[in-house]
């Protein structure tokens, strides 16, 4: 009898589970009037078609994307199936090799996009997408999605990395003002240090990506000291990784990050930053244990809950200055869309993603920055997003992409990060730069 009861229970459990799994997921089709659909008329009607999208954004970021293109999907009849995967960078290769490539992928690194373009897996952008790309983005930005003269996709997201986060209250209380040149920045640093507070805080722990915040620092300073030309040569390996000018930039960064008087505010000696995750590293800015934290625009989402961002709020950011107060060297990153298929519905979706309409609609939903010329800074969700968009649209801005994302992955996501960790741990600049140079793939 007991066995019978157990068997029945097992069968019921199985049946319930199976039914639950089999329940079709309604992807939210809502009633739409023709007026709602007017803006989407240009993308045509593709009833019964499906576009799969694969990217690394999950949870809320994924929801915001899906909410943004929901109207597009309803009006065109395209079923947009989004899949977010935290292991995107490793898994996209597996998916493509296994014959399961998505229709559209969001590449967080131009180098990764280039790898698939060179392997002949990506479809070149259609004429429609290319026209939108030309209209929406500068040649620099489109260049990151161009391989051997062929455009493969369009920029989707933009990040500004050259921000220094600070507490306006801390600055006001001590009579400090936002520095406009590198010299002023160093004077400010020394002034704060003299008052007994470590001026900088930093954290570079980020699982296997540990070290990247340091590489951003080095790139930012090289861009400021030597200008865009040398920076481009360095990234493309036309000058060696351990060029004397790069050594100089690293030593400049080292004078801050490897200096126990200047770092690591709130966490102890400078080398403690290897144990501190980059997400939590800025918290001492709020408690007054450090004055400045150099981190990208996306750090806005990493402040503790309830932190207000703005010029007169809890925290705000200024652009890391260079030698010339009028210059606007901006280091940044971005995400690019590219397609593994060229069916009409895939093209329509790509065109929609490439439009300023998409960027503006996405910005109205929550924090998001696009380098598209057509975005309206007024739509920005946070003051730092607005500042980022203004910087990206400023004609004086000299934007350069995060170099480690453009280098071969075994350097940019491997030996450079690892070298940065060793360097913070005490290795000499020369030693680290040489070892990265030696690791550069010869082909």
User: Are the C-beta atoms of residues 204 and 273 closer than 8 Å to each other?
Assistant: yes
Question: For another protein, which residue of 189, 225, 272, 379 counts as binding (CB under 8 A)?
Answer: 272
Q: CB under 8 A: which stretch of 178-186, 245-253, 274-282, 326-334 binds another protein?
A: 274-282
Residue 430 neighbours by CB under 8 Å, 6+ apart: 242, 247
Please give the DSSP secondary-structure letter assigned to residue 381: S
CB of 422 to another protein, least distance (A): 9
H or E stretch including 18?
Answer: helix 2-22
- # residues near another protein by CB under 8 A: 39
Give, as ranges, the residues between 27 and 86 that touch another protein (CB under 8 A): 52, 81, 83
Task: Answer yes or no whether residue 109 interacts with another protein by CB under 8 A.
Answer: no
Task: Answer yes or no whether residue 431 interacts with another protein by CB under 8 A.
Answer: no
The 3-class secondary structure across 222-263, one letter per residue, is: HHHHHHHHHHHHHHCCCCCCCCHHHHHHHHHHHHHHCCCCCC
Among candidate residues 224, 216, 222, the one with its CA nearest the CA of residue 248: 222
Task: Answer yes or no whether residue 266 interacts with another protein by CB under 8 A.
Answer: yes
Task: Answer yes or no whether residue 94 interacts with another protein by CB under 8 A.
Answer: yes
Distance CA 151, CA 118 (A): 12
Task: Answer yes or no whether residue 279 interacts with another protein by CB under 8 A.
Answer: no
Q: CB under 8 A: which stretch of 6-14, 291-299, 307-315, 411-419 binds another protein?
A: 411-419
Distance CA 222, CA 216 (A): 10
In terms of C-beta density within 10 A (0-12 exposed, 13-18 middle, 19 or more buried), how is residue 37 classed?
middle
Task: Answer yes or no whether residue 403 interacts with another protein by CB under 8 A.
Answer: no
Show the site string, 200-239: x = touches another protein by CB under 8 A, - = not.
Answer: -------xxxxx----------------------------
The binding site for another protein (CB under 8 A) comprises 52, 81, 83, 89-91, 93-94, 99, 115, 118-119, 207-211, 266-268, 271-272, 274-276, 408-410, 413-415, 417-418, 421, 425, 435, 439, 441, 443
């Amino acid at each position: 009898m007991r066995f019978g009861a157990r068997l029945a229970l097992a069968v019921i459990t199985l049946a319930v589970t199976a039914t639950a799994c089999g329940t079709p997921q309604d992807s939210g089709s809502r009633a739409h009037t023709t007026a709602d659909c007017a803006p989407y008329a240009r993308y045509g009607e593709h009833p019964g078609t499906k576009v799969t999208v694969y990217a690394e954004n999950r949870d809320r970021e994924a929801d915001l994307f899906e909410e943004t293109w929901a109207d597009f999907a309803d009006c065109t009849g395209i079923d947009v199936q989004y899949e977010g995967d935290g292991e995107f960078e490793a898994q996209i290769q597996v998916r493509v090799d296994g014959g399961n490539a998505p229709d559209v992928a969001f590449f967080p690194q131009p180098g990764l996009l280039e790898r698939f373009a060179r392997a002949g897996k990506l479809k070149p952008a259609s004429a429609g997408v290319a026209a939108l790309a030309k209209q929406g983005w500068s040649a620099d930005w489109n260049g990151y999605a161009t391989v051997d003269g062929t455009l493969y996709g369009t920029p989707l997201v933009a990040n500004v990395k050259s921000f220094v986060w600070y507490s306006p209250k801390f600055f006001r209380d001590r009579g400090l003002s936002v520095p406009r040149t590198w010299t002023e920045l160093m004077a400010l640093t020394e002034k704060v240090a003299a008052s007994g507070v470590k001026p900088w805080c930093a954290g570079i722990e980020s699982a296997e990506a540990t070290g990247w915040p340091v590489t951003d620092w080095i790139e930012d300073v090289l861009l400021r000291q030597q200008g865009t030309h040398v920076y481009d040569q360095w990234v493309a390996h036309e000058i060696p990784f351990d060029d004397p000018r790069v050594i100089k930039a690293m030593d400049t960064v080292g004078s801050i990050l490897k200096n126990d008087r200047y770092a690591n505010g709130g966490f102890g000696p400078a080398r403690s930053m290897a144990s501190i995750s980059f997400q939590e590293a800025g918290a001492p800015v709020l408690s007054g244990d450090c004055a400045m934290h150099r981190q990208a625009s996306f750090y806005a989402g990493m402040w503790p809950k309830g932190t207000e961002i703005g010029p007169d709020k809890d925290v705000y950011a200024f652009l890391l200055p260079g030698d010339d107060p009028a210059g606007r060297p901006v280091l940044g990153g971005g995400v690019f869309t590219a397609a593994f298929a060229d069916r009409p519905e895939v093209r329509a979706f790509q065109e929609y993603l490439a439009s300023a309409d998409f960027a503006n609609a996405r910005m109205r939903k929550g924090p998001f920055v696009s380098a598209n010329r057509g975005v309206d800074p007024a739509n920005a969700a946070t003051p730092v997003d607005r500042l980022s968009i203004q910087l990206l649209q400023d004609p004086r801005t000299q934007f350069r992409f995060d170099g480690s994302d453009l280098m071969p992955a075994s350097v940019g996501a491997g030996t450079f990060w690892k070298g940065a960790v060793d360097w913070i741990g005490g290795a000499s600049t020369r030693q680290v730069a040489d070892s990265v140079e030696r690791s550069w793939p010869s082909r």
